[in-house]
């Protein structure tokens, strides 16, 4: 027994030594790859990961998670940010954190778990002196490298629900469609309201954020979607999945819908609002949202469809999110009809 304990102790020391060695030999992030004018052909050119297949980040690359995440055919997402040495994030109310030039936001999409997990793509947002650049990288079958996919790609995968789907990696221009506001590419995910206050506090303690922003952690934890209050869950879902286009200055601003979390005008959110252009996407319905009647509401109809030209969002999914649809329908059903 004592010998076993000693062996375990030796093994633990060896493991800690290996970890320390990994830290010593950890690659450095290439600031030049982020801020330069070129489009790096390989994800490894940035140096974001020590072990790319395991998504072990390089020192200086920080993982984060969202309270309410974007639906992408049920893909698992691993999110990271990188800040150049000597810089930090700045609070800006409950909206997007302000990133310094030279920062990067990294998001890897994967399907499966454990040894069967398959990395599909990694999207990076690079903050250069002239603005943000969005680039998609496709992982190879060996899971050793991801290469730049400017034209996008289609990949056959099996979703967590067991559906065989043709997963779409967006091309560079499609990246811009979701990340566009008033014609400029911007991040859309790391808003203070959608980040845990504990994580933000840790960032402040580490000197990577100037202060915990006002309004942090306002969006609900999506893991409560089945039992939580419908209104905040539905509004958070629409803010995360739809509002990057459906807001003033967004790609779908001509629709007149404003699905941002902070929008308080019922008509702007879609309640008893007629569509600007009624096509087949309306499904024969007259209003975006009819209180108490999800079956008569265009919003619920389009979220429930996977048909091209009808489905919303148009990009980023090829399947219907049953949990998201259920929450939005419950929200509409519970609305007062007077």
Residue 122 belongs to some domain of the structure: yes
Residue 229 β-bridge partners = none
pLDDT for the residue numbered 313: 80
Residues 326, 286 contacting (CB under 8 angstroms): no
Average pLDDT of span 219-225: 95
Last residue of a domain, one of 154, 178, 205: 205
Mark whether 232 and 321 lie in a shared domain.
Answer: yes
Residue 145 belongs to some domain of the structure: yes
Mark whether 298 and 230 lie in a shared domain.
Answer: yes
3-state DSSP of the chain: CHHHHHHHHHHHHHHHHHHHHHHHCCCCCCHHHHHCCCCCCEHHHCCCEEEHHHCEECCCEEEECCCCCCCCCCCEEEEEEECCCCCCEECECECECECCCCCEEEEEEEECCHHHCEEEEEEEEEEECCEEEEEEEEECCCCCCEEECCCCEEEEEECCCCCEEEEEECCHHHHHHHCEECCEECCCCCEHHHCCHHHHHHHHHCCCECCCCCCCCCCCCHHHCCCCCHHHHHHHHHHHHCCCCCCCCCCCHHHCCCCCCCCCCHHHHCECCCCCCCCHHHCCCCECECCCCHHHEHHHHHHCCCCCCCCCCCCCCCCCCHHHHHHHHHHHHHCCCC
CA dist., res. 267 & res. 174, Å (int):
29
Mark whether 58 and 92 lie in a shared domain.
Answer: yes
Residue 13 belongs to some domain of the structure: no
CA dist., res. 166 & res. 120, Å (int):
12
* Comparison of pLDDT for 3 and 332, the residue scoring more: 332
pLDDT for the residue numbered 106: 97
Residue 2 belongs to some domain of the structure: no
Q: Which of 240, 232, 145, 137 lies closest to 188 in space, CA to CA? A: 240
Quick one: pLDDT band at residue 175, thresholds 50, 70, 90?
confident
Q: 87 vs 32, 83, 254, CA distance in Å?
A: 16, 6, 38
Mark whether 166 and 284 lie in a shared domain.
Answer: no
CA-CA-CA-CA dihedral for 151, 186, 32, 203, to nearest 10: -130
Residues 181, 165 contacting (CB under 8 angstroms): no
Quick one: pLDDT band at residue 293, thresholds 50, 70, 90?
very high
Q: Residue 21: phi, psi to the nearest 5?
A: -65, -40
Residue 17 belongs to some domain of the structure: no
Residues 256, 243 contacting (CB under 8 angstroms): no
Mark whether 195 and 254 lie in a shared domain.
Answer: no
Range of the domain at 290: 222-334
Mark whether 74 and 174 lie in a shared domain.
Answer: yes
CA dist., res. 280 & res. 310, Å (int):
7
Average pLDDT of span 239-252: 91
The two beta strands, 56-57 and 61-64, are unpaired
Residues 43, 137 contacting (CB under 8 angstroms): yes
Mark whether 38 and 174 lie in a shared domain.
Answer: yes
Mark whether 115 and 230 lie in a shared domain.
Answer: no
Quick one: pLDDT band at residue 214, thresholds 50, 70, 90?
confident
Mark whether 122 and 87 lie in a shared domain.
Answer: yes
pLDDT for the residue numbered 40: 97
Residue 212 belongs to some domain of the structure: no
Give residues with Cβ within 8 angstroms of 305, minimum separation 6: 283, 311, 312, 320
pTM over 0.85: yes
Mark whether 188 and 254 lie in a shared domain.
Answer: no
Q: Is the pLDDT of residue 64 over 90?
A: yes
pLDDT for the residue numbered 114: 79
pLDDT for the residue numbered 159: 87
Mark whether 187 and 238 lie in a shared domain.
Answer: no
Q: Which two tokens stand for residue 18?
A: 């290996």
Domain count, the chain: 2
């Amino acid at each position: 027994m004592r010998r076993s304990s000693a062996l375990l102790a030796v093994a633990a020391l060896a493991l800690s030594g290996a970890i320390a060695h990994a830290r010593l030999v950890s690659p450095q992030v290439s600031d030049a790859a982020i801020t330069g004018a070129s489009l790096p052909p390989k994800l490894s050119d940035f140096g974001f990961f020590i072990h790319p297949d395991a998504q072990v980040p390089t020192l200086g690359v920080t993982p984060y998670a969202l309270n309410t995440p974007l639906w992408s055919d049920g893909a698992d997402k691993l999110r990271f940010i990188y800040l150049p040495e000597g810089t930090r994030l700045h609070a800006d109310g409950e909206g997007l954190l302000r990133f310094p030039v030279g920062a990067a936001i990294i998001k890897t999409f994967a399907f499966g778990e454990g040894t069967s997990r398959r990395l599909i793509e990694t999207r990076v947002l690079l903050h250069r002196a002239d603005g943000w650049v969005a680039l998609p990288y496709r992982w190879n079958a060996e899971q050793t490298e991801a290469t730049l996919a400017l034209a996008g790609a289609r990949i056959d995968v099996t979703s967590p629900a067991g559906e065989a789907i043709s997963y779409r990696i967006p091309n560079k221009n499609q990246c811009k469609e979701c990340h566009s506001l008033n014609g400029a590419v911007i991040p859309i995910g790391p808003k203070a309201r959608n980040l845990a206050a504990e994580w933000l506090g840790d960032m402040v303690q580490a000197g990577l954020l100037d202060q915990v922003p006002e309004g942090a952690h306002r969006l609900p934890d999506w893991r409560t979607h089945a039992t939580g209050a419908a209104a905040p869950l539905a509004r958070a879902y629409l803010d995360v999945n739809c509002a990057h286009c459906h807001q003033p200055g967004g790609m779908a601003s001509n629709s007149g819908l404003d699905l941002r979390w902070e929008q308080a005008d019922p008509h702007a959110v879609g309640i008893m609002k007629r569509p600007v252009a009624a096509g087949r996407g309306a499904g024969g319905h007259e209003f975006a949202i009819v209180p108490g009647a999800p079956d008569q509401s265009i919003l619920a109809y389009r979220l429930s469809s996977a048909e091209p030209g009808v489905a919303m969002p148009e990009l980023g999914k090829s399947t219907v999110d049953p949990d998201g649809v259920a929450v939005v329908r419950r929200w509409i059903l519970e609305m007062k009809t007077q």
